[in-house]
Amino acid sequence: MKENKETVRPVFPFTAIVGQEEMKLALMLNVIDPKIGGVMIMGDRGTGKSTTIRAIADLLPEIEVVKDDLFNSHPSDIDLMSDENKQALQNGINIETSYIKVPMVDLPLGATEDRVCGTIDIEKALTEGIKSFEPGLLAKANRGILYVDEVNLLDDHLVDILLDSAASGWNTVEREGISIRHPARFVLVGSGNPEEGELRPQLLDRFGMHAEIRTVKDPELRVQIVEQRTSFDQDPKKCIQNCEEDQNKLKKQIVDAQLLLSTITIDYDLRVKISQVCGELDVDGLRGDIVTNRAAKAYAALNGKQTVNSSDISKVITLCLRHRLRKDPLETMDSGEKVKKVFDKIFDIEEI
Collect all residues with Cβ–Cβ distance below 8 Å to 78 and sequence separation of at least 6: 86, 89
8 Å CB contact between 63 and 99: yes
Q: How far apart are CA 140 and CA 313, in angstroms?
A: 34
**Can you say how many angstroms the Cα of residue 213 is from the centroid of all Cα atoms in its chain?**
16
Angle at the Cα of 211 from the Cα atoms of 209 and 213, rounded to 5 degrees? 175
Angle at the Cα of 259 from the Cα atoms of 292 and 78, rounded to 5 degrees? 90
Catalytic residue among 54, 185, 206, 287: 287
- 322 as an active site residue: the answer is no
Q: How far apart are CA 202 and CA 199, in angstroms?
A: 8
CB atoms within 10 A of CB 84: 15
The crossing angle, in degrees rounded to 10, of helices 49-59 and 21-32 is 40
DSSP state of 143: T
DSSP per residue, 194-243: GGG-PPPHHHHTTSSEEEEE-----HHHHHHHHHHHHHHHH-HHHHHHHT
DSSP per residue, 40-63: EEEE-TTSSHHHHHHHHHHHSPPE
Active-site annotation, residues = 287
